[in-house]
Structure 1
């Protein structure tokens, strides 16, 4: 009888211990489940300050529409293909140097004439535009999707690039793109040696206009980053001297002259280029007599305005200036 009571007590104790163990395991499992659940509900939102105010995105965007040419290059450089983009200023519809990466991208108008309906049809998660180009339609764009605007388009491409990297939640990738570019600048400067002190002149030919480019232009900023000198008349912190007359040809002189022509397909800009290059005043420039006048691509040196073009411009600098 006593043994029966002892056995009964032992069985009861074992049962209690087993139930406790099961209960503990269940609690651990529930806790793990709760932790997992709370992890999946982690806040992924972030805020971007931009030219028009502040924009909050709930998560990193997957469908992006970009409304500037330089912005398109920024996205591509960070490994992102937009669902929609404005047409390149030259090309059908994209610049040659980006066309392979843009095959499936929908055209949504021009920088200066955006197709709002086409943007809405793409149902984007984010729209990136520019105050200088699209301020009047900002409210329309914002009603479609979160919208971030850069302030301006001229000068240093890095400023807008950093904003775009933040907007698409790829700041680390953006920092790497800039670091790679900065390393190229440093390498070129080292290879140039004393030649970095040469004065570089820049001229652009257009239908009905000839411009002498200054320091606050896309290519002017890059020359300055390398450390090149500029002719005195071009060593100015603004964009360009527009509507230059032939009396201003002497201001184009330098140790090297790069010129580019914005041709829209009707041949007018090419005619302007030929007229000026063959002018006796131009041929009499020291830079022309020395054979240091170089024609380069307008898309790369001016029109595209983005990081991909910047690197291609550095290719030209290496080609023509490093012997």
Structure 2
């Protein structure tokens, strides 16, 4: 693996200078900004000079894409990280404690790098020019950019997805897509940069277009309709889930996701100790396949021989592994 140039200790992202010695850039109100995962805007932003380690990360990111930064980096009192334009100047803002916490909680030093790359992607893609808040489409573009950059810097796919896997919302919102789509976008960028998927992550995964999200449709369409299973079903899926799970499901776009097909024919996802109903197993409506998985929006995945999962175009996107 290539060297990232700087591997952070937990204190590296900020406060490397005494607070009184830091240069303050004042307090201003920002109406709109592109946040990392949809948190509320902070009414007044107070900016400070960035830590040397954070500046080095930005330099490393810009080096792999061969461009000069069209923004200034600042530590600030934003909830996580954000890209913003104020009075004609572009800024990347990051919260020191959040960056340190994401490294600590994931145990992955690439997590903070991926977040920084995501925000840089917003500026380089022109997302901050329309004076609007985050939108699902632009968030996916920034996610893909992040995956592309991290592969070029030497990160594995799991490294590139570490932050998103840890903190993204499984259901998404009106501003940010659900976790499955965001992980898929990162995987798409990582693959486009030359990354090769492991056997577990399905070597056949190769999206036709950079922004095409090729995760299983029923995983993509969780949206707000995705619901928690009943308490009884959740308990059944915990300590005694072996009795209730017929097979494990793996998807190329989210190799770390925990998906299962239950003995009742439900496709569920386990995330942060919660169980989500994603879709159901039913008789296939397509010649050549006996069974298919479908969600409430009638999106389908077909179950082929040996448990292979294919989309409506016949492309392999995952597989089922029987627990029997």
Q: Same fold (TM over 0.5)?
A: no
Which has more helix, going by share of residues?
A: 1
Greater relative contact order, per chain length (Cα 8 Å cut-off, separation 6+): 1
Between structure 1 and structure 2, the one with the greater Rg is 1
TM-score, normalised by the number of residues in structure 1: 0.27
Which has more strand, going by share of residues?
A: 2
